[in-house]
A and B are shown apart, each in its own frame.
Chain A
């Protein structure tokens, strides 16, 4: 360094190295870290980034947050002055959030009230709120005629929000609802359209009509229905300018009606536009300038609500010609003929002809009746009559000739054009009352009409009587027709049978409607000229009859018809329970989640398989049991076990006489699974139903015990054999067939059977009089078994001791076996596909080995969840068996649960207790080994 300074010359001030600037800081950091590393916590000091000590102890100044390492302010800390609360007690205040907020917070809060800005205030809530507030404040300032706050309805926003604008752009108009018409309505519309199609198709109309239809209907559905939406109605009506506005629709209407007021309208519009007319609105035509109003038409006194107007010309005529009183014809026959002739002519040609002839024949005295002379009354009468007579004829012939537009626009036809439905009862009632009260004249006219043309009435085609076989109904139908095609007379009793149900009436009405349509259609083809005539005639009479349809019996024939027609397709609904896993796989929520499982259904394959398995096991069990009993009762026979084997073989042959190939499948089923015992059990254990198993077990027992006894014991002991073999054969048939596919399912059962074997074993050994134990736990099962074993031991007490040690050996042996078993589980899995016909002996031995294995495994893992049910099941079966074997001797072996584990090791002794010689024992072991293999 020194040498450097000597060598070089420096100008200016050297740039200070940053190191030096941050030196202090670094030092502090280093110190801190060093401190941290070295000093104990209480000696460590907190320094700020400058290395200063900012945190002091409570008595040395506290935080430096105060006024420079002091508490308080620049002025220092001053204690609060004391104020006595004696005089001014604390008031009970209504606390609100504001009482806990600082001023600035309050200000913030003020701005935090959520509200849509007027720009986005589609529904005008905020604006309304704001306006109301303002109104309130205003009201406070100046007195108002109406006390209290301004009602909401009077206040409404004026501006238009973006939402509204958008909606408008999208084609929405005010006064319409904003609903999603696409979701359901399209579907509905489609369905309706579909129906309509089909209806059209049924009618045999051309498909082009149908083609055009769907679009139409869909469109119809797309157009939103005007809705009295609360928001909108309030908004529009409460609008300050509401009085000046009308909805466009109404405007259009009025436009039509009053084209004359259009120009004023336009002017108005301009005026209003300046004040911010909403696009959805048009200026009303009748706001201030009241357009000329038309009074409602004055209904003449004798007005008949007879909806079948026969052309304008004729109505005039009819109205002009007032009915005349009946007048006797003049004495002069010539005059009479002349009058009648003229009357006919006039009736035919109109008033004009009368005038003409009057002018022409002014001088002619014969025609004096025209100008008020002799026979005038008669002429008038005749003329009227002729008119009446002609009425329908001319009218109808006219119909044919007149241009279609002129053609009799009745309310009905008009309605049909417009697609209206004919009004129902209400209109009829009105008309009927009006008729009855009003015009008897018309009644007469109708009467006369009818009477003048009886032949027409009779000539009513058969088609028009679709309900011939039911006169009452036919009558109702006629009345219906009359109502449909003609206004006019109604019987005051509105025709419909009063004793008909509303539903029946509705149905009938539909029926009538259909019939009428059919008739009309049929008519239109042939006699379009006089299509309505028969109906007119007919209905006229119908109206005059005033029959009380109600008194007649009603037969709902068409109800029956419809039911016959509607048999297919027939819809039924049931509950169905999808499995939870299915729901999961379909990504749906299980509708039955959390609900208890359904009651077990009828026996399925699984159950029968159960029975199968049990059969097998119980066979063994019983056999063992029998052995025990035999041993107890009889002196132990030398070749007991061998004998058993033989017997079993025999028995199998014998039992399976009916179903020869069964055993093969049966065993196949069994062996296909035995490997999977422990593997699949957790999944499948739940399937097992104790009761089913009990059943299965008992049936199996019934059958196999029978065979067993028959062969092995029956002869020796003279026991009775329950002969219910055939039943079980039929049962076992299906399982055998279905065995393979359900192999997996079976495995579960095998787990069960393992424990059940144990049970059965124990049970069989004590089934002589041991009460059935219903209590449940695998522990108990074991206990019981051991108990049973004990019993059996007791019986063969003399052998017990020396056997005991051997049994331990055997038990160990078994344990080993179990382990082995587990090991070769996987390999044995493949056994499922074993050949179908191993020798029965082979099978049997395997079966046994399995049993042993199971037993041993059970002694290890006796906590299988199923053991309870099995246990129960076996108890049941045992009890049954007990009954069966009641003929056998009983031992009063009372159960004691307390003696449990002590005897655990004795379970094999119990079995082997009857092998009283060592040779036999070894033999048994050998056998066992063989089975294992």
Chain B
């Protein structure tokens, strides 16, 4: 994909959140997106038509992250109220709340089968919650992190967490092994490449770092944006050709994956870009910002 095919044209603006939008996520097939924010709501949108579909209200504090199951039937969300909410998408009701984190919960993800929710918390732990049983106890607590866990990624067999202690830790369930890659800089967000071989870690020194997962070597660094104090997302494009991230000044950056050159950057929001999510198949991207909007970008 050449740089000209990057989504740079604003297709839609999703307005509705009051206050900052903290995360925006495509669903599995990219037809819908979810956003959550400081207004304690989660909103479901059709980004392509710019329609607001549903609002999920139950959180008592800001909602920091949301994730949807591959079958689009359930949501999980987390935020400042230290709980993980497990929602039914259709009815909009909370099926279960998982309590146990001793602090705000920063990130939450379903596993492949949507049977487990893994959450990353301010309490320096990753917790896995069972969606199948009625237990509200975590089925696993991973507390080897030395500082806040900011982000979590799941593969079929691994749980990967990025923490402010500068490490990206991979917990391989199949091998019973923890692999810690110390980047030396607080990790703000981690994101998997679509081929699953690399981890993109957004560090608080305004650098994105691309790690080879198998060897742990640093493949590339991407610089130019500002990321010093906000929880901001980064991701790779659907072809893994470019790396994208927001900046604290409201611009979106695209880097070439290989030579780390800034392929494109444009001002997208009036304020900090908190989240970027790339469409799984098309050249489409959604960004959320502290300015309260979610914007849809297309080529």
Q: Which residues of A contact B90 (CB under 8 A)?
A: none
Indicate if A163 sits at the interface (CB-CB under 8 A): no
Q: Specify which chain B residues have a CB less than 8 angstroms from the CB of A591 in the assembled complex.
A: 173-176
Q: Do the beta carbons of A573 and B173 come within 8 Å of each other?
A: no
Contact A569 B111, beta carbon cutoff 8 Å = no
Cα separation A582 to B111 with both chains bound (whole Å): 11
The answer, among A207, A568, A575, for a CB contact under 8 Å with B258, is: A207
Task: Please tell me if the beta carbons of A581 and B139 are within 8 angstroms of each other in the complex.
Answer: yes
> B194: CB under 8 A from chain A?
no
Cβ–Cβ contact B216 & A571, under 8 A: yes
Report Cα–Cα, A581/B171, bound state, in Å.
15
Q: Contact check, B99 vs A741: say whether CB atoms are below 8 A apart.
A: yes
One of A586, A592, A741 near B156 (C-beta < 8 A): A586
Return the CB mask of B170-188 against A: 1 if under 8 Å, else 0: 0111111111111111000
Contact residues of A between 231 and 278, Cβ < 8 Å to B: none
Residue contact B115 to A585, C-beta cutoff 8 Å: yes
Query: Which residue of A is nearest B137, CB measured?
Result: A744
Digitize A193-205: 1 where CB-to-B-CB distance is under 8 Å, 0 elsewhere.
0110110110000
Chain B neighbourhood of A195, CB < 8 A: 219
Of the stretches B128-136, B274-282, B284-292, the one at the interface is: B128-136
Cα distance A742–B135 in the bound complex, in angstroms: 12
Residue among A207, A586, A742 making CB contact with B116, cutoff 8 Å: A586
Q: Are A582 and B180 in contact (CB under 8 A)?
A: no
Choose among A578, A589, A745 the residue with the greatest number of B CB atoms under 10 Å from its CB.
Answer: A578
Bound together, the chains give a CA A581 to CA B139 distance in angstroms of: 7
Determine which of B142, B178, B185, B256 lies in contact with A573 in the assembled complex, contact meaning CB atoms within 8 Å.
B178
The residue in B99, B111, B137, B184 that gathers the most chain A C-beta atoms within 10 A of its C-beta is B137
Does B197 count as interface, using CB distance less than 8 angstroms? yes
Residue of B116, B173, B185 ringed by the most chain A CB atoms within 10 A? B173
Residues of B within 8 A of A210 (CB): 258-259
**A171 to chain B: closest CB distance in Å?**
25
Provided the pairs A197-B259, A568-B184, A569-B183 are in contact, do residues A575 and B178 lie with their beta carbons within 8 angstroms?
Answer: yes
Scan residues 699-736 of chain A and give those whose CB is less than 8 A from a CB of chain B: none
Instruction: For residue B259, give the distance in angstroms from its CB to the closest CB of chain A.
Output: 4
Question: Is B209 part of the contact surface with A, judged by Cβ < 8 Å?
Answer: yes
B260 and A201 contacting across the interface, CB-CB below 8 Å: yes
User: How far does the alpha carbon of A575 sit from the alpha carbon of B137 in the complex, in Å?
Assistant: 23
Q: Check: B218 CB closer than 8 A to any chain A CB.
A: yes
B137 touching A571, Cβ below 8 Å: no
A587 to B157, alpha carbons, bound, how many Å? 9
B10 contacts partner chain A, Cβ-Cβ < 8 Å: no
Tell me, rounded to whole Å, the shortest Cβ–Cβ distance linking A581 to chain B.
4
B220 at the interface (CB under 8 A from A): yes
- Assuming the contacts A582-B173, A586-B173, asked whether A194 and B258 have C-beta atoms less than 8 A apart, the reply is yes
B176 in contact with A578 (CB, 8 Å) = yes
Q: Is B195 in the interface zone, CB < 8 Å from A? A: yes
Are B176 and A577 in contact, with the CB atoms below 8 A?
yes
Does A579 lie at the interface of the complex (its beta carbon under 8 Å from any beta carbon of B)?
Answer: yes
Least Cβ–Cβ distance between B112 and chain A, in angstroms: 8
- Can you name the residue of chain A whose Cβ is closest to the Cβ of B185? A568
CB <8 Å contact, A571 and B259: no
Per-residue A-contact encoding for B115-146, CB less than 8 Å = 1, 0 else: 11000000000001010100111011010100
Which of A577, A582, A592 is in CB contact (< 8 Å) with B139? Answer: A582
**Known pairs A207-B256, A588-B173, A591-B176; A576 contacts B142 (CB<8 A):** yes
Q: A585-B115, A738-B102 are in contact. Are A571 and B139 (CB under 8 A)?
A: no
Q: Which residue from A201, A568, A573 sits with its C-beta under 8 Å from B179?
A: A573
Interface contact B100-A585, CB-CB below 8 Å: no
Q: Is the CB of A576 within 8 A of B174?
A: no
Please determine whether B137 and A198 come into contact, CB atoms closer than 8 angstroms.
no
Report, nearest first, the 9 A-B pairs whose CB atoms are least far apart. Answer: A201-B259, A571-B216, A591-B176, A576-B178, A197-B258, A568-B184, A570-B182, A574-B178, A585-B115
Extra pairs beyond A198-B259, A579-B128 (5, CB < 8 Å): A190-B197, A201-B259, A569-B217, A572-B182, A586-B156
Q: List 30 A-B contacts (CB under 8 A).
A: A191-B197, A191-B212, A191-B214, A194-B212, A198-B220, A198-B259, A207-B258, A568-B182, A568-B218, A569-B181, A571-B182, A573-B180, A574-B180, A575-B178, A576-B144, A576-B172, A579-B140, A582-B140, A583-B173, A585-B113, A585-B128, A585-B132, A585-B139, A588-B157, A588-B173, A589-B174, A591-B176, A740-B99, A741-B99, A742-B100
